Amino acid sequence: MVFDDFTGYFSDMEVYTLSLAFQYNLSVEALTLSGISVSDESISSLCESLVRSRVNYIDLSNTPLEDDAGRSLAALAHVSPFLRTVVVGETLISEDVLDEIDVACQFNQSNFEGNGNSIDESLFKETDLNRLKSRMQRIVRAQSANTHFCVAHLFNCCPNGDTCLYSHALTSAGQDPTSVELGQKISELFSTGGDWEQKLPPRAAEGASWKGPDDGNTRGPKLNLKRRKQLKQEAERDEPVLPMKDSRPRLGLAAPFVAVGFLLTVLVAFRKYRC
């Protein structure tokens, strides 16, 4: 992220806005605020918001910053192992404070190189690391859902209110509504103390091919044999009766040949009679 040579158009108000935004967006790794007129107080607020971020490069050159901002930068470098480069050329920061910034950044750079060009997560506290990962997951979900945050809402000065096209729910944006509703139900279930089992839905009735968990292996699955036999008898009773087949022989296609043979027999007998 680069803001360079904005002169009077970039003031402390914009730095405070960035400070609030960086509390929720942890994906920025480099920040340049060069050639602008800002105060030490706003930069100190910015450094405080970057404590849990992954920013490793900050350029605040050509700014009227003094020792207060320099000490905040040094403190940030001591706390965050990600920060390895701070550029503060052409500022009013004293040499002693610059040396302190340089020592902290060199320490982080040495640890970074000694760990195979990666950050040693053991430097974080377990609670801080879990919080960092959780916030990173929320940012990733928001990015995959194309969610855009409303920065003006952070100051309670969004002119659009409920009709704003940007998200006002910074902590829950991008989450599945079903998961949120389920989480609320679980919280309500255990928040009021005892008798939580009575709040659970009733156990489902046993099915045709399964048994309840209390039965164990004492008996086999229910197959409803009686009901199945009854349905089979009803189906046989309702089956339509087909007409019986005629067992008498039929001549079919052989009838003409039989008739011809009969006539030949009569003709031969008649000739014998005449003779």
Order of strands, sheet of 2-7, starting from the edge strand that comes earlier in the sequence: 2-7, 30-36, 57-59, 85-87
Domain contains 105: yes
| Residue 157 lies inside a defined structural domain of this protein | no
Residue 91 lies in a domain: yes
The structural domain count of the chain equals 1
Residue 66 within any structural domain of the chain: yes
Q: Is residue 96 part of a domain?
A: yes
Looking at residue 59, what is its pLDDT? 92
Domain extent at residue 74: 2-123
Structural domain contains residue 241: no
pTM of the shown model = 0.46
pLDDT at 202: 59
The residue to which tokens 């919280």 are assigned = 187
Position 231 in a domain: no
pLDDT of 29 reads 87
**Which among 63, 60, 22, 68 has a CA at the least distance from the CA of 41?**
68
Q: Is residue 80 part of a domain?
A: yes
Is beta strand 2-7 parallel, antiparallel or unpaired with respect to 30-36? parallel
User: Which residues of the chain have a pLDDT value below 50?
Assistant: 136, 139-140, 143-144, 170-180, 183, 208-210, 221
Q: What are residue 151's phi and psi, to 5 degrees?
A: -70, -35
CATH number at residue 22: 3.80.10.10
